[in-house]
Amino acid sequence: MLSALDLARRIEAGTLTPRAVVEMCAQAIAAREAEIGAFTALDLEGARRIADSRAALPLRGLPVGIKDIFDTVDFPTAYGFSAYAGHRPNSDAAMVMAVRRAGGIILGKTVTTELASLQPAGTRNPRNPAHTPGGSSSGSAAAVAAGMVPLAFGSQTGGSVIRPAAYCGVAGYKPSYRLMPTVGIKTFSWSLDTVGLFGAGIEDVAFAAATTTGRDLRIDRQAPQAPSIALVRTHLWPDATPDMQAAVERAARIAEAAGARVTELTLPEIFEDAIRYHGIVQDHEAFRALAYEYDMHRDKLGPILSAQLDNAAAITTDRYDDARRNTRRARQVFAELMATTDVILTPSAPDAAPHGLSATGKPTFNRLWTLLGAPCVNVPGLIDPNGLPLGVQIVGRFARDKIALAAARHLEAALAQAAKR
């Protein structure tokens, strides 16, 4: 994989050119893209032409992949939906412009599941092409995992950043709700859709988030302090495989051995209900956000999304308003809870990447945190007996993203140390 921070430092030091980074990407793409299918569109020539002119800017002319639900003028933007093949928006999404303003190069658009739903696309997992890379940000996670690009943007409504990051063994960062604007992104659920980032490691996604938002989020300038970590199993723990359960418990022990204060936390009952609220809020909003597609292009929708919207039609506004009210309450309780710990440690997904491409896995261990708007980080470094990555998740307090990133970095380093022994 390509570390964005490492590349940026070498470019800053003058020992590497942005153009040379484009060639690294081009080589990986030539070697693996035919098998993996991470991109819907690429512009290597354009990147070669302009990369070096961006070397002095914060993102140093680094190539970036953009999930195809983000509007781009220079690339077709089909939102993963056949009815929109070849569509060209008339403006770039806000975060695409943020990448440009920071001196990043848009190398290409990455595969999204259909309209960022659970309806799978064809991308394969670079760790094992017989397995799904997860979704909905399938191409962004796979492109980073295959070293085809050092950074990629995605989005999460249920678990669409953390899950594919876990399945592909890369760092994934879903910021606090609205830390990054969703302007110019095809909406699935306006209360939940969150922009996120993929990179080789935690420092890389923190670096990219800092440069594209202008916020103090870099964590590479000093070694992170040992955090306090609450191990949270949630009532869904039995849905995690034994391998995943063991991975999370092992991560807790390794973190503790590296100096973290590790406690166990049982969530109050309100959070069990909250997972149901997620589905109500998401689907009620999707029925409205995707009204045109549902009413006018229903024959072109895949069966999973189509059935989801069929069911969504029956969710009353009363149930939706009730779910929204209870969500606000759950957020308050969560803020109080997070006064006692820096971060939570919990699974990123129920499992390693499932076999086959007919489904993208389940957002079981993501929906609650997305609903709460909390920052989430997938920490790579553990593997299952078959060599597939097992991602563990660090969850922080709303708007305390830097603390979550630093804690994730601490754990990542500890896992890397432990792997060496």
402 half-sphere exposure, CB direction, 13 A CA radius: 14
- DSSP secondary structure code for residue 222 in this structure: S
Rank residues 96 and 229 by Cβ distance to a second copy and give the closer one.
96
316 contributes a contact to a second copy by CB under 8 A: yes
73 contributes a contact to a second copy by CB under 8 A: yes
Residues 273, 183: Cα–Cα separation, whole Å: 30
35, 50, 122, 190: residue in contact with a second copy (rule CB under 8 A)? 190
Q: By rule CB under 8 A, what count of residues binds a second copy? A: 34
100 contributes a contact to a second copy by CB under 8 A: yes
Rank residues 10 and 100 by Cβ distance to a second copy and give the closer one.
100
27, 49, 87, 300: residue in contact with a second copy (rule CB under 8 A)? 87
59 contributes a contact to a second copy by CB under 8 A: no
362 is a catalytic site residue: no
122 contributes a contact to a second copy by CB under 8 A: no
Chain positions 239 to 298 lying near a second copy, rule: CB under 8 A, are 285, 288-289, 291-293, 295-296
Chain positions 321 to 360 lying near a second copy, rule: CB under 8 A, are 321
Nearest to 160, CA basis, from 367, 303, 380: 367
Which of 117, 137, 160, 191 is catalytic? The answer is 160
Nearest to 358, CA basis, from 121, 52, 12: 121
Which residues, other chains included, contact 190 with Cβ-Cβ below 8 Å and sequence gap of 6+? Answer: 182, 285, 289
187 contributes a contact to a second copy by CB under 8 A: yes
Chain positions 10 to 49 lying near a second copy, rule: CB under 8 A, are none
160 is a catalytic site residue: yes
Phi, then psi, of 86 in degrees rounded to 5? 80, 0
Rank residues 204 and 285 by Cβ distance to a second copy and give the closer one.
285
98 contributes a contact to a second copy by CB under 8 A: yes
Q: How far is CA 267 from CA 101, 282, 334, 336, 408, in A?
A: 41, 22, 9, 12, 21
Nearest distance from C-beta of residue 404 to a second copy, angstroms = 16
92 contributes a contact to a second copy by CB under 8 A: yes
Interhelix angle 202-213/401-420, nearest 10 degrees: 160
Chain positions 358 to 397 lying near a second copy, rule: CB under 8 A, are none
Residues 250, 246: Cα–Cα separation, whole Å: 6
Which of 3, 67, 362, 402 is catalytic? The answer is 67
Exposure string over 86-96, b if 16+ CB within 10 A, otherwise e: eeebeebbbbb
Cα 144 from chain centroid (whole Å): 11
Which of 136, 138, 155, 306 is catalytic? The answer is 136
- DSSP secondary structure code for residue 115 in this structure: G
Reduced to 3 states (helix: H, G, I; strand: E, B; else coil), residue 404 is helix
Nearest distance from C-beta of residue 179 to a second copy, angstroms = 10
Question: Would you please indicate which residues are annotated as catalytic (active-site) residues?
Answer: 67, 136, 160
Positions that interact with a second copy (CB under 8 A): 73, 84, 87, 90-92, 94, 97-98, 100-101, 178, 181-184, 187, 190-191, 213-215, 285, 288-289, 291-293, 295-296, 316-317, 321, 399
